């Protein structure tokens, strides 16, 4: 059979159909009882969460962590990163995920890579209890660099109107708990790649100084989901505010939930900064304050609770091995975050 004109231009519909068919076995594992459409419909159908419930949505990407995945030839983790990142974003408002939608854009579909990405998306969807209900795969020669792809995801979750967490109940004296990150999560990779590969001259399979892991293992560590420990916490006590520590670090993300007139005093010595951040600061000559704005510095998520609930909160969070630390306190003041 001769090659079609479209395939000659760089887009082979038959190959895409075969790959999607192979990926379906992973996607089917994510289907929850509330999904009422089949894979392949023009739109995904899901039961309404019901009266008194709010829908919470978010959309994000993996950023240039995708370049590290390409360098390492490993693509089964970035899908997990994406789902977990989006899950954490809506969790800040107390929401649980319902459905997830993905977009993969590339110059030319690489079947093995695509299936690995879908496998990662599906694994994390199953772990977070949401359905990979719909998606889009686009081949666009000339728009994306050869051999690379972009990965974006959108999530829809639900929270009871009575239980939504907005931060408006935060008050002076509330305690700030930091949950340990698994590494860079999904932020700061442009600077990290410049320092590690250009300034330090390291290769993807080299050991990262100060650690027992390779550069690939360190940089591709899966962005953790904090859904299960936070859900357990919300069942027994009131959380006054939460922040997912993504781009902007502690300095820019905690203020997003603070009421006017309040600030967060953070003690940098209250947790152990992972070696990868220390290495990048020293080799890159990056100002410490900038490090705390670009990277999470070892704190992946923060929870704000009443002082009376601190001990109970720490006990629950430790049971999920989140390595919680009391990192600060809420005070009156005009500055958003004080790092000391």
Regarding beta strands 131-139 and 262-266, do their DSSP bridges make them parallel or antiparallel, or are they unpaired? unpaired
Give, in order, the Cα–Cα distances in Å from 182 to each of 48, 95, 201, 229: 34, 22, 24, 15
CA angle 82, 88, 92 (to 5 degrees): 150
DSSP 214: B
Structure tokens belonging to residue 264: 């967060």
All structural domains of the chain, each given as residue ranges with its CATH number in brackets, are: 5-160 (3.30.1330.10), 175-339 (3.90.650.10)
First to last CA, the chain: 69
User: Considering the entire predicted model, what is its pTM?
Assistant: 0.93
pLDDT tens sequence across 125-149: 999 999 999 999 999 999 998 889 9
Contact 121, 79 (CB under 8 A): yes
Return the closest-CA partner of residue 226 out of 300, 136, 336, 150.
300
pLDDT tens sequence across 294-315: 999 999 999 999 999 999 999 9
Give, in order, the Cα–Cα distances in Å from 78 to each of 86, 222, 243, 323: 12, 7, 22, 23
pLDDT tens sequence across 158-204: 999 999 999 999 999 999 999 999 999 999 999 999 999 999 999 99
Query: Hey, which residues does 150 pair with through a beta bridge?
Result: 105
Q: Does 335 score more than 90 pLDDT?
A: no
pLDDT tens sequence across 108-119: 989 999 999 999
């Amino acid at each position: 059979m001769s090659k079609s004109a479209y395939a000659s231009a760089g887009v082979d519909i038959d190959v895409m159909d075969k790959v999607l068919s192979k990926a379906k076995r992973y996607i089917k594992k994510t289907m929850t009882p509330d999904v009422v459409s089949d894979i392949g419909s023009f739109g995904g159908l899901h039961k309404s969460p019901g009266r008194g419930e709010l829908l919470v949505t978010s959309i994000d990407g993996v950023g240039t962590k995708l370049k590290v995945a390409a360098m390492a030839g490993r693509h089964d983790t970035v899908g997990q990163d994406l789902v977990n990142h989006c899950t954490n974003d809506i969790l800040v408002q107390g929401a649980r995920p319902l459905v997830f939608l993905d977009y993969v854009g590339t110059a030319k579909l690489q079947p093995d890579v695509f299936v690995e990405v879908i496998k990662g998306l599906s694994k994390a969807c199953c772990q977070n209890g949401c359905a990979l209900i719909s998606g889009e795969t686009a081949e666009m020669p000339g728009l994306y660099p050869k051999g690379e792809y972009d990965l974006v995801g959108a999530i829809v979750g639900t929270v009871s109107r009575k239980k939504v967490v907005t931060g408006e109940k935060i008050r002076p004296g509330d305690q700030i708990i930091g949950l340990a990150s698994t590494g860079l999560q999904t932020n700061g990779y442009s600077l990290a790649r410049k320092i590690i590969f250009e300034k330090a001259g390291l290769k993807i399979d080299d050991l990262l100084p100060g650690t027992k892991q390779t550069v690939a293992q360190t940089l591709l560590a899966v962005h953790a989901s904090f859904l299960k420990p936070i859900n357990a916490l919300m069942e027994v006590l009131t959380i006054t505010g939460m922040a997912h520590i993504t781009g902007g670090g502690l300095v820019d993300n905690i203020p997003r939930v603070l009421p006017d007139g309040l600030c967060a005093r953070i003690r940098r010595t209250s947790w152990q900064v992972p070696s990868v951040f220390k290495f990048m600061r020293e080799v890159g000559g990056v100002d410490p304050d900038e490090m705390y704005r670009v990277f999470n510095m070892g704190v992946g998520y923060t929870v704000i609770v009443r002082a009376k609930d601190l001990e109970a909160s720490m006990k629950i969070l430790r049971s999920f091995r989140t390595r919680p630390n009391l990192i600060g306190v809420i005070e009156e003041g005009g500055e958003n975050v004080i790092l000391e």
